[in-house]
Amino acid sequence: MQESDPDMPRATGPLIVARPDHNISRANISENALKVLYRLRQENFQAHLVGGGVRDLLLGHEPKDFDIATDATPEQVRQVFRNCRLIGRRFRLAHVHFGQEIIEVATFRGTGDSSDTAERQLENGMIVRDNIYGTIEEDALRRDFGINALYYDIADFSLIDYVGGLADLQAGRLRMIGDPEQRYREDPVRMLRAVRFACKLGFIIDPPTEQPLFEFGGLLRDIAAARLFDELIKLLLSGYGLGVFEKLRHYGLFGHLFPATEDCLACQEQDFPITFVSRGLASTDRRVLEDKPVTPAFLFAILLWEPVRRRYEQLLVEGQAANEAMLSASSETCNRQQSRTAIPKRYSLPMREIWALQPRLEQRDGKRPYRLITHPRFRAAYDFLLLRAEAGEADPELSDWWTKFQEASSQERANMTASGTKRRRPRRRGRKTAAPQPDIAVP
């Protein structure tokens, strides 16, 4: 592949890499994406594969999505494809549906001018609406990072690079297009994308692109809580969540997403809170890499557990019963978190059930264990207990008891649940005791 220098002006236009000089093959592009590309060309529109799909193909990875950029407007795309739906108000996009696969088609974004206030609106420097269309070069300049601004032209199978993205790719560098501070102000979620791509690709972040990450975290408070939840799913459930967590804390961004958790981690007296989160994220990463199911409910239960646990302990001291204290602590923590990252009920309800079962796991006499083991969330709550024990926050004897109870015969279970069995509150331990590896279940 040809070398390119992003700092050198190109008076002659973009860097164009002919088909023999790059490694992208149509054999590795989704058949449905190719259908959309060819059909747009047949209708005399420009059609380019762009963004992460091009980046991943050049790196030899298998893309998860194939996005297309064109000079056709969303309405024109809909006229071409009967299986098309237009979505979005902030950014108008066309989604072409092929069963479970959706090919996203975006019209080239333009720079616009001051008279285009109806189609491009900013509030305090942040873009809240942007439907100004332009040329492919303008579109490249409007994208976030150089590595995401490479175009594969279906007309002649060439690569087109307006911003030095190929040089960035070859150098393993993540570099913002344009002035980083301005671009982060336009869309603060770009800070999270910078962390995600750096962790996913193992790239370094270019110093001018990196420095604002330490300073601009407060801008995330202006982003809709629902959108931040979607970004967190991409960040933490893609197989590199532990690295993301560490980078978010390094740049001071984590506290703007999980303020209550960060307060707990920042003033921790023992190692178990940070150990618990790290072990939970590492376990999630392993499951993703092994192509096993994972759930946001368990992930968020891990991330929010420490503020829940501390409030729970406080309420116990104040005299509340264990189950009531856990419900109150869960409700308070969730209500505060919703203003930052809006966790949908389909995840928040199972998450709260996982927490609610933790005090019940301490009740091991009589019929209680038999009822609890049939609970729909028992497996997730048990896995959660294993993580707590591994981190030194719960008594390993308690997790060992539940491990044995699940495997025991009827007579052994009867002996284990005899009325003389002591019920003990879990005690914290400084040293880590080996415990069965948690198998994070899908609630």
What are the catalytic residues?
65, 67, 144
Q: With contact defined as beta carbons under 8 Å apart, do 140 and 149 qualify?
A: yes
How far, in Å, CA of 283 to CA of 281, rounded?
5
How far, in Å, CA of 274 to CA of 277, rounded?
5
How far, in Å, CA of 315 to CA of 425, rounded?
15
Tokens linked to 51: 């963004």
Closest to 136 (Cα-Cα) out of 5, 7, 14: 14
Q: With contact defined as beta carbons under 8 Å apart, do 381 and 354 qualify?
A: yes
CA-based R_g, the chain, Å:
26
Query: 119: part of which helix (H) or strand (E)?
Result: none
How far, in Å, CA of 46 to CA of 26, rounded?
17
Residue 72: strand, helix, or coil? coil
Tokens linked to 330: 């869960």
Tokens linked to 440: 């994070």
Query: 351: part of which helix (H) or strand (E)?
Result: helix 345-360
φ, ψ dihedrals at 145, nearest 5°: -115, 150
Closest to 83 (Cα-Cα) out of 71, 98, 93: 98
Tokens linked to 11: 């008076």
Q: With contact defined as beta carbons under 8 Å apart, do 230 and 236 qualify?
A: no
Cβ neighbors of 26 (< 8 A, separation 6 or more) are 34, 157
